[in-house]
A and B are shown apart, each in its own frame.
Chain A
Amino acid sequence: MKTVAKLAIAVAIGSIGMAGAAKAQTKVLDTVKQRGALSCGVNVGLAGFSQPDDKGNWTGLDVDYCKAIAAAIFGDAGKVKYVPTTAKERFTALQSGEIDVLVRNTTWTMSRDSQLGLTFAGVNYYDGQGFMVKKSLNVKSAKELNGATVCVQTGTTTELNLADYFKSNNMTYKPVVFEKLDETVQAYLAGRCDVYTTDQSGLYSIRVQQPNPADHVVLPEIISKEPLGPSVRQGDSQWFTLVKWVHFALLDAEELGITQANVDQMASSTNPEIKRFVGKEGDFGKNIGLDNDWAVKIIKAVGNYGESFERNVGSGSRLNIARGLNRLWDKGGIQYAPPIR
């Protein structure tokens, strides 16, 4: 009886302890500050968005967002722990708490907003899905792809859009579905499929990495809307607001003409909008749990949105993608940020 009693007491204490731990819910910002680094989910390797170089340094548009958030919190863009995730495990990593924010060229859709327990904090790249074929096939338009074999990655909106597009155009196709990006591209290059499909930015990124980019043609049709943006777990509004406003700060800086080079001089500007941006007026930083010069730290670390774009995917990079829809609202695009006031 004595051993049974001891065992029963141990089990009871254990379960109470577990129940207690489950109830506590800490704020993400406190966890990040305590850890001393931001845990950021990124792509395993997509040129222009998040890619490690041979020394292990990460660069890309999404990586710049991770750096911006870390700079806003710690003042140091290096305090980031990059967690590479595949399309399959990215949401589970965020749901389980392994990463604090997912900036991984992820499309904002209703089902992802409502069913996965996460919420999207803005759109850092307006994209659309396209097709890439080998030039030797002599295909000029996606409407000529009836009966083609298409390589695609599993668990993406790409897979679903592909099915919809071919169905609505009364064409048939054969899918070849892989888990990892590398394998998908390898199969396309080996000729297993005629067409490779993903977001257009991804197509350009893959194409530029080939030994002979001129052998591949990106077809002109864009068959879907793919607003790519960072996402966080539901339930912590302070963290959600923080991540959202990091994105808006990048856009506002470009609107106000603040760049990485001139942000220090801008600190002494008399323009009231710029004064609010750099934190000389108002307590905007404090309200989201940061210092008042949070926006200055961001721009010092990665520059404004336009600089980050051109450096990673635009004219300053091998991809050379035009700004297009991603221009600011007053320059013909749809990137629009609410004012900091």
Chain B
Amino acid sequence: MESTINITLEVWRQAGPDAEGRLVKYEANNIAEDMSFLEMLDVVNENLIAEGEVPIEFESDCREGICGTCGVMVNGKAHGPEKATATCQLHMRKFNDGDHLVVEPFRAASFPIIKDLAVDRAPLDNIIAAGGFIGVNTGAAPEANLIPVPKDASDMAMDAAACIGCGACVAACPNSAGQLFTSAKIQHLNLLPQGQSQRWARTEAMIETMEEYFGSCTNHGECHEACPKEVSLDFIAYTNRDYVKSKIKNRKLGGQ
């Protein structure tokens, strides 16, 4: 009952961070259409091990599109051709028999290659450490229903917080900008009443940490197209507004 397809892959192989990399051709035959893209790579790896070749390194964990661990470029597109879909949720039925797929790691100078398709996305954590939090110690929180939060604000904060931190936005951007990720993280907190005390400090610190690692945003919108959670470009606009304000507010607040 199950139908299968044959695919030709060209996969980026690179033995280590400083090694030279190249595309290597593999035939993936009799691939069940119900398989996910990563399961197809699992099968390719099983065959490589059987032949005594070192398997392809690629990262994944939950395989449900929520942890943000996975992510490769498929024919130049971050997470592949399917909209709003992380690589792990991409299925082979979306491809045709005889397709030729080029599989590369996420491409950005700030995401150095560790091996094959695995890259280092640590700068994303550095942006959070710079201010992506609300500074409440455990135990100090007031009763949860003390501060009503308008449902619209809460829902919008949730839309921003849905970001899975995969880095596809950076990989898709012609400037390798980290604007969509950073904006989503900033607006998740800036939109909420609880996030107001640190709003301006947070915005300035996170944006400036981002700029240490990533390119500048020129509003191409490729990030949104690649985003598996379809995080809105509006958050970039809100963040740009907050950043400009922060430059004044942070100094004024300090002078008070």
> Is A bound to B?
no
> Interface of B with A (CB < 8 Å)?
none
> Interface of A with B (CB < 8 Å)?
none
